[in-house]
Structure 1
Amino acid sequence: MKMLPRAKANALIEALGGRSIVFVGLMGAGKTVIGKQVAAMLSLPFVDSDHEIEAVSRMTIPEIFEAYGEQEFRALEQRVILRVLESGPQVLSTGGGAFINENTRAAIIAQGISVWLKADLNLLMERVSRRQNRPLLKVADPRAVMADLMARRYPVYETANIIIHSRDVQKDVICAEVIEEVLRHCLSATEGQTV
């Protein structure tokens, strides 16, 4: 992992204030992997909302879906993310459906800088096929489900503050792009306020 010059990391953390960098996007986009590395480069805490949900519920995400259904899972996810956002600055990776929830999205917009890791269908399918813990993909045709999720969710993800194209390159490349864009976003927002 490439280290970020301390001065640049400090400038970004100062520009964030109490806000969090919040990764949004579909499963397999790389939110956790990239989020962890960005957090390490900035010496910020990293939080994965799915892990937080599992910790509070003492159940895995698939177990929650099976026992209570998606609606109850989304309500729990919203409560967990709202709580986590109160303790920024940090880097937060959210589940694929989190940003789709209107209240969760409003909280992320108010207390964070949202970064959509946008990926194409082939890349997502290649990545998600490596793990069997995706409740929404436990169907006969997971590719069709993923294509449907893309069609419904991408217009909402488009409203994120920053869009980064997730692709098969070294993680350092994506992380550097995220950091540059978050810093640019924070600084342009600050300049807009001082005019």
Structure 2
Amino acid sequence: MQNDEKSAAHAGREADMSSANLRIQWLHRKIADNSYPNAKRLSERFGISHRQAQRDIFFLKNKLGAPLEYDYRRRGFYYASPFALPVAHIADNDENFSDVLAAASAEATEAPEVADRTVIQTQLPYTSVVRVEDKLAVLELQPYIKERNKDGTYLCEFHSIEKFMSAILALDADIRIIKPDWLRRRLIHSAERIIRNNKE
């Protein structure tokens, strides 16, 4: 009896993960095709709650590192830079984010038309871990710093990639982006372009 229950639970878990994978893949494909999908379309396509659709968007952006931006005119998401979905299996985000976006979900219940705006503005900041030794630079990064980690690095949150990168480039200090890798590569690319365009 116990084996049957375990098998059923395992099968259910695999089904949930498969469903989450399909939703993320669909969302990625629509964004890559410039179809500007949003949480409403995702929920309607897969018959899930609006809250779960918001979790999927959160997962794609913050856990998979997708450079998501929201287009208010088209009312949908797009990639601010080229992005490829990781080949590795996507984690079962259905279970791990039960309390994430609670505020957005509550607002969406009262006003569904602003749900996606709520997600991008208040619930879906990008995150980055940076190492900076200069105390003055730390002070100047305070608008982005959320906490200091035990290893001396800083956890930062930001809604605009461009503003955060500009803040880092403007600082007269040694700063290293520990993660995510895509943000470090983008910063390097920007710095190389600046150097290339300003060579004598």
User: Per the shorter chain, which TM-score range?
Assistant: under 0.3
Q: Say which one has the larger Rg.
A: 2
Q: Which structure has greater helix proportion?
A: 1
TM-score under structure 1 normalisation? 0.28
Q: Relative CO higher for 1 or 2, CA cutoff 8 Å, sep ≥ 6? A: 1
TM-score under structure 2 normalisation? 0.27
